[in-house]
Amino acid sequence: MIKVEIDGKACEAPQGSTILDIAKANGIDIPTLCYDPRLSPYGACRLCLVEVEGARALLPACYAKADDGMVIQTTNEKLERIRKTLVELLVSDHPMECQGCSKSGRCELQRLADKYGVTESTFTGEVHEYDLHRENPFVMRDYNKCIMCGRCIRICREVQGIGVYDFINRGFKAVPGTPYDKPMQETPCEFCGQCISTCPTGAIKARPYEDRGRVAALDMLRNACAYFKMPEEDMMKALGLEGWVTRTTCAYCGCGCQLDIHVIDNKIVEITSPLMVGSGQGNLCVKGRFGYDFVSSSERLTKPLIRKKGKFEEAEWDEALDLVAKKLSETKKKSCPDSIGVFSSARATNEDNYLVQKFARAVIGTNNVDHCARL
């Protein structure tokens, strides 16, 4: 363990911790844009620069390792002036039409611009004008809002292990794109949406959610609740809305990734994953992030069906279970237990699947048990 002093506060941390790690662990806020706890330090945005006593220059807190006895200053007039200038430089080539952006309320650049009172930039010059990339049903790219933080590139390489993105072109025209600027369907992209989850602005967004501005509006209302110290339930009741965000476990496989289900008027409008929580640590697959339409599908079965006179008709559970038990008993007696197979579901819990295989082996007497996650 090492001991450091940050803004006059004595802090203790394991050897090898970065200054940013120690600050976050002690509730000290240092602004960042290129930082993501799931990724290795990058030090590109320079917003996390701090003063270290005895150092020859300002150090990036996300990258610099802390040494025992360090005295660190995270905020003063000089540092705040540098950070405001950096935000103004980013805003100089970033459309500030936040009202129409679905990321409004959750945009990290917007939050920093509000913090430093930057509504427009004093720096003028050429501005990017890119067409939207909407060639696939999952990921939309808007390079006009890109700040070149490289988070999408790094998460695709370091976490997903694919490497779809890289910086293409040079100088002012550089963007994080696909090889030869090909459509994403022609790349190894798995459409997991990790790049969406890490993008600090609206440069990469989920197409299924792009027209659902109410999600961003609810985030802004949540911030308003925190500011006015008003219970979220009271705000929802006043607005006539039901639901907000529910934390649950993804049921597509056995990994146990945590999901935040955004619900408005009893309908799922977005699925995200909390950072550094659960086994997924904020990462999801394409099914976990986008595969939710079945929940509100009009074709979803809500009652068991029994074939009567060649047509399926709704029945009560007792009637359906009695029929299944009767058919299984007849088949087992007429043929043999191995003439029956039991097929389970990955969406069931481990306990339910255990009971299924126990039922197959102990009650029916067969080892013909399979599971849809194996397919």
Residues 6+ apart with CB under 8 A from 157: 163
pLDDT of residue 63: 94
* 154-181 mean pLDDT: 95
Residues of the chain with CATH 3.30.70.20: 88-209
Q: Is the pLDDT of residue 373 over 90?
A: no
* 6-21 mean pLDDT: 96
* 157-171 mean pLDDT: 95
Q: Is the pLDDT of residue 216 over 60?
A: no
The 3 state secondary structure assigned to the chain is CEEEEECCEEEEECCCCEHHHHHHHCCCCCCCCCCCCCCCCCCCCCCCEEEECCCCCCEECCCCECCCCCEEECCCHHHHHHHHHHHHHHHCCCCCCHHHCCCCCCCHHHHHHHHCCCCCCCCCCCCCCCCCECCCCCEEECHHHCCCCCHHHHHHHHCCCCCCCEEECCHHHCEEECHHHCCHHHCCCCCCCHHHHHCCCCCEEEHHHCCCHHHHHHHHHHHHHHHHCCCHHHHHHHHCCCCCEEEEECCCCCCCCEEEEEEECCEEEEEECCCCCCCCCCCCCHHHHHCCHHHHCCCCCCCCEEEECCEEEECCHHHHHHHHHHHHHHHHHHCCHHHCCEEECCCCCHHHHHHHHHHHHHHHCCCCEEEHHHC
Q: Is the pLDDT of residue 179 over 50?
A: yes
Looking at domain 213-296, which of 2.20.25.90, 3.40.50.720, 3.40.710.10, 2.40.30.20 is its CATH number? Answer: 2.20.25.90
Mean pLDDT over each residue of the chain, to the nearest integer: 89
Residues of the chain with CATH 2.20.25.90: 213-296
pLDDT higher at 58 or 229: 58
b/e map 154-192, b = 16+ CB within 10 Å: bbbbebbeeebbeeeeeeeeebbbbeeeeebeeeebebb
pLDDT higher at 168 or 348: 168
The C-alpha atoms of residue 212 and residue 272 are separated, in whole angstroms, by 14
Write down the pTM of the prediction: 0.83
pLDDT of residue 327: 95
% of the chain beyond a pLDDT of 70: 91
pLDDT of residue 43: 92
pLDDT of residue 217: 58
Residues of the chain with CATH 3.10.20.740: 2-75
pLDDT of residue 294: 86
Looking at domain 2-75, which of 3.10.20.740, 3.30.70.100, 1.10.443.10, 3.30.565.10 is its CATH number? Answer: 3.10.20.740
Choice among 212-216, 276-280, 341-345 with the minimum mean pLDDT: 212-216
pLDDT of residue 346: 75
Q: Please give the CATH topology (third level) of the domain spanning 88-209.
A: Alpha-Beta Plaits (3.30.70)
Give the model confidence (pLDDT) of 315-361 as tens digits: 999 999 999 999 999 999 999 999 999 998 877 778 888 999 999 99
Give the model confidence (pLDDT) of 241-250 as tens digits: 555 788 899 8
* 270-283 mean pLDDT: 92
Q: Work out the pLDDT band at 209, boundaries 50, 70, 90.
A: confident
**Which residue, among 86, 193, 91, has the nearest Cα to 141 in the 3D structure?**
193
Give the model confidence (pLDDT) of 110-142 as tens digits: 999 999 999 888 898 899 999 999 999 999 999
Q: Work out the pLDDT band at 99, boundaries 50, 70, 90.
A: confident
Choice among 11-25, 277-291, 336-350 with the minimum mean pLDDT: 336-350
Q: Work out the pLDDT band at 105, boundaries 50, 70, 90.
A: confident
pLDDT higher at 224 or 166: 166
pLDDT of residue 82: 97
pLDDT of residue 375: 46
pLDDT of residue 232: 63
